[in-house]
């Protein structure tokens, strides 16, 4: 359908406008708008599916690790039950001596410690995957240190994120060692003790991240505690501080 507009006679002293005849197509704009909505919906659906598949893959990996630990826990419990039954049988038959009894006792204690560690790991995975704690968000979970060579200490810092929706959390963490040197208070930043690390270590994870390394304790320095400061970025930025007692005694 077309609308025809006639050109009126020019009025003296008035401006002249050129008139154009255009087709009247109200459905054309509506079709263009509908096509835009369809394209936008398709793009949103593809973006959602990509994010869903990526998150599902990470969740499956964590769940499989949890199931593996649960299987180890079950096997350890079965072994303890079997050994306890053997002890009972030997005691009844009067065939067990002090040495065998001590060996069995030590084995059971070792298995019980292993069960305790497995239970701790299972609880850790449960806490990350199904959070129910009041203090949700970024966490400085734990710091483990060990030393096989005098003056050299291996460390492992575990950061976790306890949230309902596991998006990536990013930021930086600083590690400092406090103590005494020549009777005076002294503080060393991580970069001064570990040549491979900067003062601020970057992190980026969904569920948890381990930060590992080895530091060298200066001669004459006696560490007392380790201070951890973690700072996340973004809309829900957090700043956490946590202090751990130095577990190795004198440096």
Q: In this structure, what CATH number is given to the domain that contains residue 142? A: 2.60.40.3880
Q: Give the chain's domain count.
A: 2
pLDDT at 91 over 90: no
147, 73: one domain: no
* Residue 54: how many other CB atoms lie within 10 Å: 11
Q: Are residues 87 and 166 in the same domain?
A: no
148 and 187 in a single domain? The answer is yes
Considering the domain boundaries, does residue 14 fall inside one? no
Q: Is the pLDDT of residue 17 over 70?
A: no
CB 143 within 8 A of CB 159: no
Domain boundary residue, one of 97, 130, 163: 130
Which residue, among 74, 106, 110, 68, has the nearest Cα to 87 in the 3D structure? 106
Do 183 and 210 share a structural domain? yes
DSSP secondary structure of 66-128? HHHHHHHHHHHHHHHHHHHHHHHHHHHHT---HHHHHHHHHHHHHHHHHHHHHHHHHHHHHHH
List the domain range (segments joined by +) for residue 26.
20-130
pLDDT level of residue 2 (50, 70, 90 thresholds): very low
What pLDDT shows up at residue 236? 80
Q: Domain for residue 98, yes or no?
A: yes
Clarify whether residues 155 and 102 are in a common domain. no
H or E element: which one contains 42? Answer: helix 26-93
Per-residue confidence (pLDDT) for residue 115, from 0 to 100: 77
* Token couple for 212: 């590992």
Radius of gyration, CA atoms only, the chain: 34
Q: What is the pLDDT of residues 163-202, one digit of tens each?
A: 666 678 899 999 999 999 988 999 999 999 998 888 889 9
Across-strand partners of 201?
173
Evaluate whether residue 7 is within a structural domain.
no
pLDDT at 162: 75
Asked if residue 115 and residue 26 are part of one domain, the reply reads yes
DSSP-derived pairing of the beta strands 221-232 and 200-205:
unpaired
């Amino acid at each position: 359908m077309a609308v025809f507009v006639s050109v009126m006679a020019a009025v003296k002293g008035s401006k002249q406008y050129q008139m154009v005849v255009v087709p009247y197509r109200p459905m054309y704009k509506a079709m263009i708008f509908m096509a835009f909505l369809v394209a936008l919906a398709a793009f949103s659906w593809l973006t959602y599916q990509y994010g869903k598949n990526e998150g599902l893959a990470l969740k499956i990996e964590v769940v499989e690790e949890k199931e593996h630990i649960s299987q180890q826990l079950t096997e350890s419990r079965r072994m303890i039950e079997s050994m306890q039954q053997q002890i009972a049988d030997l005691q009844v038959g009067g065939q067990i001596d002090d040495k065998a009894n001590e060996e069995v006792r030590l084995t059971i204690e070792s298995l019980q410690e292993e069960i305790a560690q497995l239970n701790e790991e299972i609880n850790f995975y449960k806490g990350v995957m199904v959070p129910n704690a009041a203090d949700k968000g970024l966490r400085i979970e734990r710091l483990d240190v060990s030393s096989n060579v005098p003056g050299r200490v291996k460390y492992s810092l575990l950061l976790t994120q306890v949230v309902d929706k596991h998006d990536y959390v990013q930021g930086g963490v600083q590690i400092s060692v406090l103590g005494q040197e020549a009777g005076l208070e002294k503080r060393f930043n991580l970069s001064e003790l570990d040549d491979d690390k900067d003062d601020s270590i970057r992190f980026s994870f969904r569920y948890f991240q381990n930060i590992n390394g080895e530091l060298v304790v200066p001669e004459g320095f006696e560490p007392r505690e380790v201070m951890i400061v973690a700072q996340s970025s973004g809309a829900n930025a957090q700043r956490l501080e946590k202090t751990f007692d130095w577990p190795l005694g004198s440096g």
